[in-house]
Amino acid sequence: MMLIVPVGLSERPKRLPKGLTALTIAVWLAVLAQFVFLSRNDFAPAAKEQWFEFFGYDPAKPHWWKVFTALLVHADFGHLTLNLAGLWLFGWFVEAEMGWHKFLAFGLIAHWIALKAQEAFWLWQGHPDPSQLVGSSAMVAFAMGTFCLRFWHIGLKWRAIYGWRWRTQEFSTPLWSLIALWLIAQIWLLVSPHPEKPVIAHLTSFAVGVIVAFGLDWHRVAACDRWKRQAEMAEREGRWEEAASIWCQLALCFQNPSAYWLAAAHNFLKAGNREKAEEAICKALEHLFWNESALDRACRIVAELKVQSLSPEILFSLAEQLERHRCYHEALTLFQKVAEVAEFKGAPQALLKVAELHFRLGEEERARQALHLFWLRYSQTPWRQRAAELAAQLRWRGEK
């Protein structure tokens, strides 16, 4: 005996979707109104047909406002359940990526195009009595079309329960496999002798979703995500050179690739390739603004023991960038390393930076020690005026 049940997704968005939540509430309100209407008419089939005539989209007598009401009306509970499940299974990811306003706008446009396509198809077929079109299945198809291009790596996790001891084993299947099965079913319905189901509407909306995903470059973003996962896997397995090469490829795909260049530098540094590490850091320093990912990777570089093998010029520039982004402790560490290289022409400035950062961090005694060392070594350099100003600030704070 074996029982297989779904237990979740391999990953899911962090926030609840605003647009999808609002749409779900609207659908349930429509369900409640439909239930009240049918209950007052003893759930007669004629009452249901009348409800669909009021709010469903009639291809023979199309009204623009019924495009929106038809989205909320469903034929039965099974129809409602499948559509809501599809919306949340695929639409949640799509809305998280494009935002609720774009999701609703593109979804409604796809829904309208799908209804018009189905209307034109039945007109071309000469269908004598086209049925009312109801439900949000066109929006589900739109979500699936965008999903399969961007989130093909998402998996559906299952749990198999078997044996008399109820042993369990988990496995996952790609979520796009459900979309593939759905497409096969739609094509089979399309080639059937009498396709009464709104298959054209479904396929049209799916195609609109694919086109929108291509227009938003989601196929390129998905490829970059795949490379990122490969790079992270290589890092975990200690394949530093391979990981660094992948990060370099990723850096070439973005306008502000500082985080990827620094990730490449970090891995080159671990692999002992100093020249390529310095080259990657220089590439990152070409961009003044660093996001949190870039700063996190830069801090990890500072923590590496092999960072001392980098040239003082690179360390000094990296320290200045970290100081600009208020990573004072990491910048202080690098300035201290640079200040120890006496033959480096920027050593006096680095030592003065050490004193300034200690002063900024409230470590006045260490600031005085660094300043004292500066006067002993570099009292005749052009930086002595700045050192005198810092000494005056220290005296003023001490008197205060």
* pLDDT at 128 (0 to 100): 66
Q: Is the pLDDT of residue 400 over 60?
A: no
Q: How far lies 223's CA from each of 107, 226, 241, 291, 293, in Å?
A: 24, 5, 20, 21, 19
Mean pLDDT score, 269-286: 94
Most distant CA pair in the chain, distance: 100
For the residues 58-66, what does the mean pLDDT come to? 83
Predicted pLDDT of residue 166? 74
The least confident of 164-178, 314-328, 368-382 is 164-178
- 163's tokens: 């044996």
Residue 382 has what pLDDT? 85
pLDDT band at 378, cuts 50/70/90?
A: confident
Tokens of residue 80, six digits: 């409602």
Query: Which whole number is the average pLDDT over 347-362?
Result: 91
Give the chain's mean pLDDT: 90
Q: Where are the domains of the chain?
A: 2-216, 240-399
Q: What is the band of 32 on the pLDDT scale with cuts at 50, 70, 90?
A: very high
Which residues are CB-neighbours of 84 under 8 A, at least 6 positions away?
24, 27, 136
Least confident among 284-288, 304-308, 383-387: 383-387
Q: Phi/psi of residue 153, each to 5°?
A: -85, -10
Bigger pLDDT: 57 vs 106:
106
Percentage above 70 pLDDT, the chain? 97
- Burial letters 170-180, b for 16+ CB under 10 A, else e: eeeebbbebbe
Query: What's residue 180's pLDDT?
Result: 94
Percent of the chain residues past pLDDT 90, beyond the cut: 60
pLDDT of residue 247: 95
8 A C-beta contact, residue 321 and residue 313: no
Which among 360, 340, 362 is positioned nearest to 351, based on CA atoms?
A: 340
pLDDT band at 397 (very low <50, low <70, confident <90, very high): low
> What pLDDT is attached to residue 380?
83
Q: How far is residue 248 from each of residues 135, 241, 283, 294, 299, measured CA to CA in Å?
A: 47, 11, 10, 14, 19
Q: Are 203 and 110 in contact (CB under 8 A)?
A: no
For tokens 């049918």, the residue is: 38
Give the model's confidence band at 336: pLDDT under 50 very low, under 70 low, under 90 confident, else very high. very high
Per-residue confidence (pLDDT) for residue 115, from 0 to 100: 93
Compute the distance between CA of residue 273 and CA of residue 49 in angstroms, rounded to an integer.
Answer: 74
Q: What is the CATH number of domain 2-216?
A: 1.20.1540.10
pLDDT of residue 195: 62
Q: Residue count of the chain, please give it.
A: 400
- In this prediction the pTM is 0.78
Torsion of CA 202, 205, 209, 215, to 10 degrees: 150
pLDDT at 12: 85
Cβ(315)–Cβ(337) below 8 Å: yes
**CA angle at residue 176 from 190 to 88, to 5 degrees?**
95
Asked whether residue 120 carries a pLDDT value surpassing 60, the answer given is yes
CA neighbor of 135 nearest in space, from 118, 149, 156, 152: 118
Other Cβ atoms closer than 10 A to 303: 11
* pLDDT tens by residue, 159-187: 888 776 777 888 888 899 999 999 999 99
Is residue 399 over pLDDT 70?
no
Least confident of 37-41, 45-49, 59-63, 323-327: 59-63
Q: Which residue has 């047909």 as its token pair? A: 49
Q: Can you tell me the distance from the alpha carbon of 379 to that of 387, in angstroms, rounded to the nearest whole number? A: 9
Round to whole Å and give the CA distance between 364 and 360.
9
Secondary structure element (H or E) that encloses residue 322, with its range: helix 312-324
Q: What residues form DSSP beta bridges with 3?
A: 161
CATH code of 240-399, in short, is 1.25.40.10
Question: Which has more pLDDT, 78 or 127?
Answer: 78
The pLDDT-based confidence of 1 (bands split at 50, 70, 90) is low
pLDDT for res 398 = 58
Per DSSP, the residues of 208-262 read: HHHHHHHHTTHHHHHHHHHHHHHHHHHHHTT-HHHHHHHHHHHHTT-SS-HHHHH
pLDDT at 80 > cutoff 80: yes
Q: pLDDT tens digits, residue range 184-243?
A: 999 998 887 766 678 999 999 999 999 999 999 999 889 888 999 999 999 999 999 999
At 332, is the secondary structure helix, strand, or coil? helix
| Rounded Cα gap, residues 355 and 370, in angstroms | 5
Query: Which residues make Cβ contacts (< 8 Å) with residue 330, sequence separation at least 6?
Result: 298, 299, 302, 319, 322
- Terminal-residue alpha carbon distance, the chain: 81
pLDDT for res 393: 83
